[in-house]
Structures are given as C-alpha cells and as structure tokens.
C-alpha cells in the first residue's frame, strides 16, 4: 500500500425514496429558520412543492438559476436573499441550481454564510463537491468560466430523493450519468488520487453503467434510478472537473462532458494506464474510450460537438484555453494535440 492523504468531506447525506419531505427537519437541524428555495425557471413547480414542505421555514423562492452560474444572476439572487433575511437556501434541481446555491454561499460574508440544503433532481454530482464554477464577462468582452475549490461552498446537507428522478428523460439520464462518470474518471488519474476515492470512483462508474441498462429497459425502474443517484453521489464526491468549453463558449455542461469524455480518456490513456484500465473494467469493456463513446451513442446521447452547436471556427481558441488550464493532467496539455482531440470530438469520431 502506497502512502496517501485523504480528506473526508463533512456533508450530511440523506438517501432514499420520498426523502424530500424531510426538508423542514433538515433545515431546522442546521439551526436555520428562513429558507430561500432556488430553482431554474423550468423547475418552479418542484420548488413550490419544497416550499410547501418547508412550511413556516420558507421565506420565498428564486427561480432564475442559469447554466454556468453567471455572476449577474448570483448577485441578483444574493440581493433577494438579503432582502428576505434568509439564513439558508434549499437548491432543488441540477447543476445550475446547486451551482447558484454554492455561489450564494461563496459571496455571502463568513459571519453570515448562507447554509445549503441540496435536493438534486439529476445526476450532475455538483452537490457533493467543494468546487464552484462561475462565469463572467472577460476583458475581451467574451464569457469566461473560472473554477475554484473551497469548503465554503460545500452543501451542509444533501437530500437524495429517488422519486424526484423518475421523470428524468432517458436521454437526459444518460447525459447526466456520463457527466457523473467523467468526474470519477478524473478522480482515478488525479495527482491526489488515493485508494478510498479510487474505490468510490469505481463503485460510481459501475453503478451508473448498471443503472443505464435498467433505465433503458424501464425508465421508471426504481432499482435503476436508485443506482444512478447513488452513482452520481459517488462520482460527485470524486470530482475535480474542467469547465473550459462550457463556460467560455456557453455550451451545455453535461452534454459537453458526455461528448468530450471518451476523447479525453483516449488522450490520457498512455499516461494513466492503470486508471483507464479500471474504467474499462468497471464498464465491462476492453477499451475504456470506445466503451464510453458507444455507451453514449447507443443510448441516444450526443456524441459530437457539432450536434451541440459548437462552431468549428472556435476549435482553435478552445485548444488554446485548454492548454493554459492550471490543473494537473496525466498527459501534457499540448495545443496541437488538444486541437486534434477537439476536432475528433467535433466530428463525433469514435476514438481509436
């Protein structure tokens, strides 16, 4: 056994069926009494149900959460939280809503930090991480997404309610699931990898791969949905993700990860053979990159950047941004090689 360092994340996890009904208990348990519910415009109905479950602990709802956590949305939500004297927020939804909750915690003063109760409705995994990505307009007038890691944004409580995921469409299920797998893959080859997180990453990949087969056969499969949600938590706990394409080019986060993942695995395979071998074994395939590509394509998920609306003329700039990324990567981040990766992803070529 090699020496390692492992830092456990101190979030409370409540997992099961119908657990969202416990939200008032969880808010009170935190010592909070003025909860602001957060949603996207599309999930107001789910947010209103949580408001009802909160009862007298609810002070309002903010329903403008947006993809890539734009700074202007965060500041608007923060103003509403202050006006309502909120002491916590309950985020109901996927990565966009939970990202907003994290941003509110980050931008609130340490002495009055907004606590977070996250109720995920997708398999994004953001709720399990101390990582936040934010988008603002750069000096060149173009959107630029930056990420940071800080325990201040880690939700205090995560309430996983399998019932809330039963209506997630089959396509969004596989997109969200592969996005979660991307987090686990990165954890397996990360510089700070350790046997505890690696074991959790493999468990997460296995659970999601297993769940996709069950959900494809029956979208209401409770076993499949429970496996997927557990896998999302396991993979999210391992997260150390890159958000270059999403924030800088306004691309959908989960869909972009789904497309890029097989090509990133192929790119890093020569420099992370053990990690990539573990991914292949967890998926039950001989070649991890090809297995991930096939899993996406065969389940109706996008497998090319072109299909997501990415512009071919932006490939060069994307390669430049990726090559400047500050995070460690198994393979050297060489612009010319990254451009090949991105072009293959743009065209939807199956990794060789």
Sign of CA dihedral 314, 315, 321, 327: positive
- Prediction pTM value: 0.84
Cα torsion through 351, 129, 244, 287, rounded to 10: -10
Q: How confident is the model at residue 1 (pLDDT cuts 50, 70, 90)?
A: low
What are the domain boundaries of the chain?
A: 12-165, 170-347
328 against 185, higher pLDDT:
185
- What's the whole-number mean pLDDT along residues 73-102? 96
pLDDT of residue 190: 83
The 10s digit of each residue's pLDDT in 145-171 is: 788 889 999 999 999 999 999 988 888
- What's the whole-number mean pLDDT along residues 243-256? 60
pLDDT of residue 321: 84
> Residue 138 above 90 pLDDT?
no
pLDDT of residue 247: 46
Q: What is the DSSP letter of 130?
A: S
pLDDT of residue 246: 46
pLDDT of residue 241: 37
d(CA 134, CA 17): 32
Residue 189 burial (CB count, 10 A): 26
3-state secondary structure of 98: helix
Between 177-181, 243-247, 331-335, the lowest mean confidence (pLDDT) is in: 243-247
Q: What is the DSSP letter of 64?
A: -
d(CA 111, CA 262): 43
Which numeric CATH code is attached to 12-165? 3.40.50.1970
Q: How confident is the model at residue 251 (pLDDT cuts 50, 70, 90)?
A: low
Between 62-66, 213-217, 281-285, the lowest mean confidence (pLDDT) is in: 213-217
Non-local CB neighbours of 157 within 8 Å, separated by 6+ positions: 11, 12, 13, 14, 26, 29, 30, 116, 117, 118
The 10s digit of each residue's pLDDT in 48-73 is: 999 999 999 999 999 999 988 999 99
> Residue 210 above 90 pLDDT?
yes
Question: What mean pLDDT is reported for the chain?
Answer: 90
From 307, 293, 296, 278, select the one nearest 351 (Cα to Cα): 293
d(CA 33, CA 316): 50
pLDDT of residue 249: 55
- What's the whole-number mean pLDDT along residues 263-278? 95
> Residue 93 above 80 pLDDT?
yes
> Residue 2 above 80 pLDDT?
no
Query: For the chain, how long is the longest CA-to-CA vector?
Result: 58
Candidate CATH numbers 3.90.550.10, 3.40.50.300, 3.30.1540.10, 1.20.1090.10; the one for domain 170-347: 1.20.1090.10
26 against 296, higher pLDDT:
26
The 10s digit of each residue's pLDDT in 289-333 is: 999 999 999 888 899 999 999 899 999 988 888 888 767 789 999
């Amino acid at each position: 056994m090699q020496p390692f360092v492992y830092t456990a994340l101190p979030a409370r996890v409540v997992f099961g069926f119908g657990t969202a009904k416990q939200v008032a208990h969880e808010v009170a348990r935190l010592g909070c009494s003025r909860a602001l519910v957060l949603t996207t415009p599309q999930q107001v109905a789910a947010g209103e149900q949580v408001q009802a479950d909160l009862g007298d602990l609810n002070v309002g709802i903010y329903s403008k959460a947006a993809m890539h956590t734009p700074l202007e949305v965060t500041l608007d939500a923060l103003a509403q939280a202050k006006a309502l004297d909120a002491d916590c927020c309950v985020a109901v939804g996927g990565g966009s809503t939970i990202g907003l909750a994290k941003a509110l915690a980050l931008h609130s003063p340490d002495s009055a930090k907004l606590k977070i109760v996250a109720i995920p409705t997708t398999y994004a995994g953001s709720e399990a991480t101390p990582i936040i990505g934010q988008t603002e307009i750069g000096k060149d007038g173009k959107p630029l997404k930056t990420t940071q890691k800080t325990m201040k944004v880690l939700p205090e409580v995560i309430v996983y309610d399998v019932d809330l995921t039963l209506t997630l469409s089959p396509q969004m299920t596989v997109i969200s699931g592969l996005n979660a797998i991307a987090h686990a893959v990165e954890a397996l080859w990360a510089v700070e990898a350790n046997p505890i997180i690696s074991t959790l990453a493999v468990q997460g990949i296995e659970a999601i791969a297993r769940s996709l087969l069950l959900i494809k056969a029956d979208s209401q499969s409770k076993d499949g949905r429970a496996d997927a949600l557990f896998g999302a938590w396991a993979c999210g706990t391992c997260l150390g993700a890159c958000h270059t394409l999403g924030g800088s080019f306004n691309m959908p986060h989960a869909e972009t990860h789904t497309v890029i993942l097989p090509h990133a695995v192929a790119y890093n395979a020569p420099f992370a053979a053990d990690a990539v071998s573990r991914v292949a074994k967890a998926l039950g395939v001989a070649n991890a990159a090809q297995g991930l590509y096939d899993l996406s394509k065969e389940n109706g998920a996008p497998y090319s950047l072109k299909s997501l609306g990415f512009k071919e003329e932006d490939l060069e700039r994307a390669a430049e941004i990726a090559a400047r990324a500050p995070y460690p990567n198994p393979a050297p981040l060489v612009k010319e090689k990254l451009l090949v990766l991105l072009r293959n992803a743009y065209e939807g070529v199956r990794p060789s």
